[in-house]
Chain A
Amino acid sequence: MKNLSDEFVWKALKEGDLKAFSILYKTYHPRLYNYGLKISGNIPITEDTLQDFFLYVYEHRENLSDLDSIAPYLFSSYRRHLLRTLKKRSKIISFDEMNVKIIDIQFTPEEIMTHQESETFKDKNISILLNKLPNRQKEAIYLKYYSGLNTNDIANIMEVNYQSAANTIHKAIKNLRQEVSILQLLNS
């Protein structure tokens, strides 16, 4: 399903219109910034790689026109870009496993809304439980519930197949539920 507001931006973008690109930038910069910061835990790196990345997007803007929707492309592309930079800095040899090690998202209590739709996640210590999850599961949770991306997009971004992404999300929720009931048992 084509995202109609993206279409407006592409048309103008193709004409090299900087104003149109600025709308795209201002729409996606905050979300990508937050994602980058979660991955790298480092402000200067996030800022530098993000500026670099947007420059790249602008200079290769023809790539944008074939997309159904821009968000997942930007997320996955930026993620790859960021990982390349982080690996270079820590001199890690590029095994696929290493990506998992590098991306260790940490959630803080302040980020979790007090009002939760699910009874299970109402505990104020839920962020601690979240951080106990394996790295993959944490990233999946972040992409799905924080960034609002669908499972298909998440699969693309995390470079796995659809089933694997779905399983990761399900396992994450299952684990969280178990942790919550353990916590409740201990507190009762």
Chain B
Amino acid sequence: MAKKNYNTTEDFLLDESFNNWSKENRLTDVDFWDEWIAYNPNKKEVMNEAKDIILGLQFKNSEPCEEKTNADWVVLESIIKAKKIENQKKQAPNYFRFIGIAASILLLVSLGIYTLTGNPIKVVYKTAFGEVLNLKLKDGSSVTLNSNSSIYYYENDNRKVWLTGEAFFEVDKKETTNAKFWVITDDLNIEVYGTSFNVDTKYEKTAVFLEEGRIWLALKNGTTKKMIPGNYLSYSAKENRVLDEKNNLKSHLKTSWKDGSIIFEKLFLKDAIKKIEETYGVKSVFKDEESKYKIITGAVPITNLDICLKAIEKSVSVRIEKINNQLIIKNRTEN
């Protein structure tokens, strides 16, 4: 490690153990260089300079949001398609001319009037807390939208939807055209051929559960994953990693909400209450620690909060008071 001379910043930068010292990756390297500095105080400045080059600066992401990128894509896509048709005329394209065209098309799309392909009007469905909505899309696919969720698509392309929240999809396979169906969330894109699956985008991650069929995920970090029935995957673009992955997950745990109930299977009450918070848009507070860790197993309704709370009260011996939008949970043996 210390056989050669270290004089310039380059000398240090090229050394792997020095890199480890800078990032505090390996204790042996940290110890080595800490001692080395002590014996070579005249090199301290250069070393710290090299260290700063390695560590650099951390910036916050100020890139445009997904919606903007998607909207811009829709416009570009229509330009490309139009050009394909126009290309029979064999014109040498003048790229700078499109600045004018692209600008006016952008304006028209945002007014929702028309573009070269037709009427890209945006269709939006939203559910409130405690509401479950069943939709049928133009191509025959059905979507069940869970509470506090929204879905939108552009009228000219109804096999591509954007989802925030949670939804269950039953997509028709298009035998004749083999046209793919796409679901787009903040974290990933799902490419679908005739299948049924659940997508959940709460808490800055997207979790996908495949009940039947085959789907391909294109994660926002560029990797792709194929899923088969029973697979469950949870990915966060923000953290740039797969959070959870399971095979053979039982369907009803992830999709029971479609039939109007949430199923708890040996959950801590605090986790079950969290689900209630998400579904009904309420906040909760526990008056004692013990209640948090009571174990609950069973089904509660998704569209009636009062019955839901009564069911929980009975099941695990707690008292739940509802004041405005807040739940107060107490152990029932005390009072």
Interface of A with B (CB < 8 Å)?
3-6, 8-9, 18-19, 22-23, 25-27, 29-31, 33-34, 44, 47-52, 54-56, 58-59, 85, 110-113, 115-118, 120-121, 126, 130, 141, 144-146, 166, 169-170, 173-174, 176-177
- Bound-state Cα–Cα, A176 to B102, Å: 41
**Chain B 44-82 near chain A by CB (<8 Å), digits 1 or 0:** 000011011101111110111010011011011101110
> Which residue of A19, A26, A48, A177 is within 8 Å of B102 (Cβ)?
A48
Given A170-B9, A173-B49, verify A118-B59 contact (CB < 8 Å): no
Given A23-B218, A27-B220, A48-B102, verify A58-B53 contact (CB < 8 Å): no
Please tell me if the beta carbons of A31 and B220 are within 8 angstroms of each other in the complex.
no
Please tell me if the beta carbons of A5 and B60 are within 8 angstroms of each other in the complex.
no
A113 neighbours in B (Cβ, 8 Å): 58-60
Please tell me if the beta carbons of A5 and B224 are within 8 angstroms of each other in the complex.
yes
B41 neighbours in A (Cβ, 8 Å): none
Given A6-B222, A120-B52, A173-B52, verify A51-B102 contact (CB < 8 Å): yes
Q: How far is the CB of A167 from chain B (nearest CB, A)?
A: 10
Task: Indicate if B93 sits at the interface (CB-CB under 8 A).
Answer: yes
Q: 17 extra interchain contacts, Cβ-Cβ under 8 A, other than A85-B96, A111-B59?
A: A5-B221, A19-B182, A22-B77, A23-B218, A33-B64, A47-B72, A48-B103, A51-B79, A52-B102, A110-B62, A113-B58, A118-B51, A118-B56, A145-B59, A173-B53, A173-B56, A177-B49
A27 neighbours in B (Cβ, 8 Å): 220, 222
> Which residue of A34, A111, A170 is within 8 Å of B53 (Cβ)?
A170
A58 neighbours in B (Cβ, 8 Å): 80
B39 neighbours in A (Cβ, 8 Å): none
Interface of B with A (CB < 8 Å)?
9-10, 23, 48-49, 51-53, 55-60, 62-64, 66, 69-70, 72-73, 75-77, 79-81, 83, 93, 95-96, 98-99, 102-103, 106, 180, 182, 189, 191, 218, 220-224
- Bound-state Cα–Cα, A126 to B57, Å: 10
B75 neighbours in A (Cβ, 8 Å): 51
Provide 19 A-B residue pairs closer than 8 Å at the C-beta atoms, listed in order of the A residue. A3-B222, A19-B191, A22-B73, A29-B64, A29-B69, A47-B102, A48-B99, A50-B72, A52-B99, A52-B102, A54-B76, A55-B76, A55-B79, A59-B93, A118-B57, A144-B56, A145-B59, A146-B59, A177-B49
A29 neighbours in B (Cβ, 8 Å): 64, 69, 72-73
Among residues of A, the one whose C-beta sits closest to the C-beta of B191 is A19
- Bound-state Cα–Cα, A77 to B93, Å: 18
Among residues of B, the one whose C-beta sits closest to the C-beta of A29 is B69
